[in-house]
Amino acid sequence: MSDVSSLAGAQDPAWPEDAVEVGRVLDAWGVKGWVKVQSFASDPQALLEARRWYLRPPEDGALKRPVGAAAAFPPHIAIISSREHGSVIVAQVRGVDDRTGAESLRGARIFLARGVFPKPRAGEYYWVDLIGLSVVNRDGAPMGTVVGLIDTGPHSVLRLAKPDSEANPDGEERLIPFVAAYVDDVSLPERRITVDWGLDY
């Protein structure tokens, strides 16, 4: 029987300062120690290429783990192999060789260092890099700060927290499609997005 509490070695790598949550372990897959994973990105390339996943317990604490599972998740696991399987990812974990060991990882939140993400193509951005950027329109008027994105299928939509200076008693968000028709420029070094959008939209 696999014991996931022993997966972390004496030379454990430090938790990455640029850690980004990228998925979670749904359950065991098969009987040979593989796990089934939900990726939070529509393109899970970073998760598929990484050979070390950092783990944290679920925030809600409502995890049902097998009787006898270790009290805590290992801080990280080494991945031998991973691939897409339908709408999920399946992965083989080093040191886990049976279903019981894989089940004991159920619910774990998976993090990767941002630095290991594949370089995006020109004009493409990771959501994590857009969150926190200030948004201004062509007149230089502040539109708000990116607090999240919505995936609509054809394209993404920026969710902006409106600036403090703008009357916003109900905490309403401003939504701007993240498409070339409305987005003039994205400057990660300046942490700014310029858009063709009116304050009254």
pLDDT digits (tens, 9 = 90+) for 35-83: 999 999 878 999 999 999 999 998 776 566 666 566 678 999 999 999 9
Nearest to 130 by CA among 153, 152, 103, 157: 157
pLDDT of residue 8: 55
201 confidence band (pLDDT: 50, 70, 90): confident
166-184: burial string, b at 16+ Cβ within 10 Å, e else:
eeeeeeebbebbbeeeebe
pLDDT digits (tens, 9 = 90+) for 155-185: 899 999 988 766 555 668 899 999 999 999 9
Q: Order of strands, edge to edge, in the sheet holding 142-151?
A: 173-177, 156-161, 142-151, 134-137, 192-195, 183-187
Distance CA 179, CA 181 (A): 5
Global model pTM greater than 0.85: no
Query: What percent of the chain is predicted at pLDDT more than 90?
Result: 64
pLDDT of residue 151: 84
